[in-house]
Homo-oligomer: A and B are copies of this chain.
Amino acid sequence: MTQWVRFRSADGHIGFGGLGRDQILEYAGDMYGAHAATGKLLPLAAVTLLCPCSPSKIIALWNNFHALAVKLGKAAPKYPLFLLKPASCSIGPGESIRRPAAYAGKIAYEGELGIVIGKACKNVAAEEASKYIFGYTCVNDVTASGVLNDNPNFAQWCRAKGYDTFGCIGPAITSDLEWSTLNVVTRVDGVERQNYPLRDMIFPPHELVSHLSHDMSLLPGDVIACGTSVGVGSVKDGSTVEIAIDGIGVLANRLRADDI
């Protein structure tokens, strides 16, 4: 089990490596392919952690937890239901979520497990799918709730969830994570708002990768956000949302209202 991180050091160097207790063991090469340790150890306090991957797309699941399906009165789907978030929305740990300039409505957090793809794949069988998974990360699938149903004829999923900074990813990508025993915990300003078991997933990771690889080519660094469960709510300007999964870490992002 390695916790992979990407970082920028004080001199502007961008690198990646494996996370230790309070330092990073730097690697060189391709994070998803051939790589080797450089031997260099960087104190965690001396670097800025970045979004741990550069997805070409973020596939976000809807209605993928039994508990939330029951609460919403929706049948469990027979096939994964998803929308796309653009690569341009992704940010890393510690970066600010920015309120869109022209939007004064509610902004919701959704704590989720993220699958990070390690090898390009297409039309993969479920029993083969795990080998295309590089690892797992935390995702905050941020949503401008007021935009979603603003038009009666068309649910605006991609717009409501696609704003710059609305795809929070990190802090690490953990390989060989035993996700089935873990919970996703979401805290807003330190107060727990979600705490749900990942074993309640309708389509587990290997089935998601298999199904979605029949819908489109999946590429290294692509992120599949596995959907959220009960406890979704809104976050106030200035508040900090933390998504925590044991073995991955805590993804913290503050909502800022002032425009760029």
Contacts and interface: CB of A to CB of B under 8 A. Distances in A.
Interface stretch (A3-11, A12-20, A211-219): A211-219
B88 A56 contact: yes
A70 interface: no
Contacts of A200: none
Most-contacted residue by chain B among A88, A155, A215, A260 (CB, 10 A): A215
Nearest to A89: B216
A151 B57 contact: no
A216 B162 contact: yes
Contacts of A154: 62-63, 77, 81, 155
A217 B151 contact: no
Number of copies: 2
Interface string A62-96: 11000000000011011101111111110000000
A68 to B, nearest CB: 12
A88 to B, nearest CB: 5
Q: Which A-B residue pairs are the 7 nearest by beta carbons?
A: A84-B84, A81-B154, A57-B86, A84-B158, A88-B217, A162-B216, A74-B153
11 contacts: A57-B87, A63-B154, A82-B158, A86-B216, A88-B216, A88-B217, A101-B123, A122-B164, A157-B158, A158-B158, A163-B216
